[in-house]
A and B are shown apart, each in its own frame.
Chain A
Amino acid sequence: MNLLRGLVARPWRFAAETTALLIAVVVAFPLYWMVLGAFKPAGEIESTEPRPWTTAPTLDSFRRVFEQQEFGRYFVNSLVVAGTVVVASALVAFLAATAVTRFRFRFRTTLLIMFLVAQMVPVEALTIPLFFLMRDAGQLNTLGSLILPHIAFSLPFAIWMLRGFVKAVPESLEEAAYLDGASRTRFLWQILFPLVLPGLVATSVFSFISAWNDFLFAKSFIISDTSQSTLPMALLVFYKPDEPDWGGVMAASTVMTIPVLVFFVLVQRRLVSGLGGAVKD
Chain B
Amino acid sequence: MTSVTHGKSWTPWLYLAPALVVLGGLLAYPIYQLGLISLFHYTQAQVSGGEPTTFEGFGNYAELFGDSQFWEVLLATVLFAAACVLSTLAVGCALAVLLTRVRAVPRLALMLAALGAWATPAVTGSTVWLFLFDPDFGPVNRVLGLGDHSWTYGRLSAFFLVLLEVVWCSFPFVMVTVYAGIRAVPAEVLEAASLDGASQWRIWRSVLAPILRPILVVVTIQSVIWDFKVFTQIYVMTNGGGIAGQNLVLNVYAYQKAFASSQYSLGSAIGVVMLLILLVVTLAYLRLLRRQGEEL
Q: Is B66 an interface residue (CB 8 A)?
A: no
Cα(A257)–Cα(B125), bound, Å: 9
Q: Is B192 an interface residue (CB 8 A)?
A: no
Query: In the complex, which of the residues B95, B107, B131 contacts A37, with contact meaning CB atoms closer than 8 Å?
Result: B131
Q: What is the total number of residues of chain B having a CB less than 8 Å from a CB of chain A?
A: 102
A127-B15 contact, Cβ under 8 Å, with A30-B168, A109-B296, A133-B29? no
> How does the 8 Å CB contact mask read for B267-287 relative to A, with 1 for contact and 0 for none?
110111011001101100110
B123 touches A92 (CB 8 A): no
Query: In the complex, which of the residues A20, A171, A250, A275 contacts B99, with contact meaning CB atoms closer than 8 Å?
Result: A20
Interface residues on A, range: 35 or more
Q: Is A27 an interface residue (CB 8 A)?
A: yes
A121-B12 contact, Cβ under 8 Å, with A20-B106, A268-B115, A280-B181? no
Cα(A43)–Cα(B124), bound, Å: 22
A256 touches B123 (CB 8 A): yes
A279 touches B23 (CB 8 A): no
A260-B119 contact, Cβ under 8 Å, with A103-B12, A151-B22, A171-B2? yes
A220-B259 contact, Cβ under 8 Å, with A16-B102, A105-B13, A264-B119? yes
B137 touches A47 (CB 8 A): yes
Q: Is A235 an interface residue (CB 8 A)?
A: yes
> How does the 8 Å CB contact mask read for B1-27 relative to A, with 1 for contact and 0 for none?
111101101011101101110110111
B113 touches A253 (CB 8 A): no
Q: Is A87 an interface residue (CB 8 A)?
A: no
Nearest B residue to A102 via CB reads B3
Q: Is A21 an interface residue (CB 8 A)?
A: yes
A98-B127 contact, Cβ under 8 Å, with A20-B102, A275-B180? no
Q: How distant is A280 from chain B, measured CB to nearest CB, in Å? A: 6
Query: In the complex, which of the residues A45, A100, A125, A159 contacts B275, with contact meaning CB atoms closer than 8 Å?
Result: A125
Which residues of chain B (94-140) have a CB below 8 Å from chain A? 95, 98-99, 101-103, 106-107, 109-125, 127-132, 134, 136-139
A99 touches B131 (CB 8 A): no
Count of inter-chain pairs, beta carbons less than 8 A? 307
B107 touches A20 (CB 8 A): yes
7 contacts between A and B (CB under 8 A): A92-B18, A113-B286, A127-B255, A128-B258, A215-B236, A231-B121, A260-B119
Nearest B residue to A254 via CB reads B124
Which chain B positions have C-beta within 8 A of A200?
none
Which chain A positions have C-beta within 8 A of B235?
215
Cα(A269)–Cα(B130), bound, Å: 32
Which chain B positions have C-beta within 8 A of A156?
23
A105 touches B180 (CB 8 A): no
14 new A-B contacts, CB < 8 A, other than A50-B138, A93-B19, A253-B127, are A21-B110, A103-B4, A125-B271, A128-B34, A151-B22, A152-B26, A184-B7, A213-B121, A220-B259, A241-B239, A257-B120, A272-B176, A275-B177, A279-B218
Query: In the complex, which of the residues B25, B119, B285 contacts A261, with contact meaning CB atoms closer than 8 Å?
Result: B119
Stretch from B68-76, B154-162, B201-209, B225-233 at the A interface: B225-233
Cα(A113)–Cα(B287), bound, Å: 11
Which chain B positions have C-beta within 8 A of A261?
115-116, 119
Q: Is A130 an interface residue (CB 8 A)?
A: yes
> How does the 8 Å CB contact mask read for A258-273 relative to B, with 1 for contact and 0 for none?
0011011100100111
Which chain B positions have C-beta within 8 A of A47?
137
A236 touches B236 (CB 8 A): yes
A272-B168 contact, Cβ under 8 Å, with A95-B16, A117-B279, A118-B27? no
Nearest B residue to A28 via CB reads B113
Q: How distant is B129 from chain A, measured CB to nearest CB, in Å? A: 6
B181 touches A276 (CB 8 A): yes
A132 touches B296 (CB 8 A): no
Q: Is B149 an interface residue (CB 8 A)?
A: no
Nearest A residue to B116 via CB reads A31
Q: Is A195 an interface residue (CB 8 A)?
A: no
Q: Is B78 an interface residue (CB 8 A)?
A: no
Which chain A positions have C-beta within 8 A of B27?
118, 121, 126, 152-153
A122 touches B117 (CB 8 A): no
> How does the 8 Å CB contact mask read for A57-101 relative to B, with 1 for contact and 0 for none?
000000000000000000000000000000000011101101110
Q: How distant is B187 from chain A, measured CB to nearest CB, in Å? A: 15
Which residues of chain A (1-45) have a CB below 8 Å from chain B? 12-13, 16-17, 19-21, 23-25, 27-28, 30-31, 33-34, 37, 45
A104-B1 contact, Cβ under 8 Å, with A16-B102, A124-B229, A246-B137? yes
- For the complex of A and B, the 10 pairs showing the least CB-CB separation, nearest first, are A276-B180, A125-B271, A129-B33, A152-B26, A99-B15, A253-B124, A96-B19, A103-B12, A99-B12, A28-B113
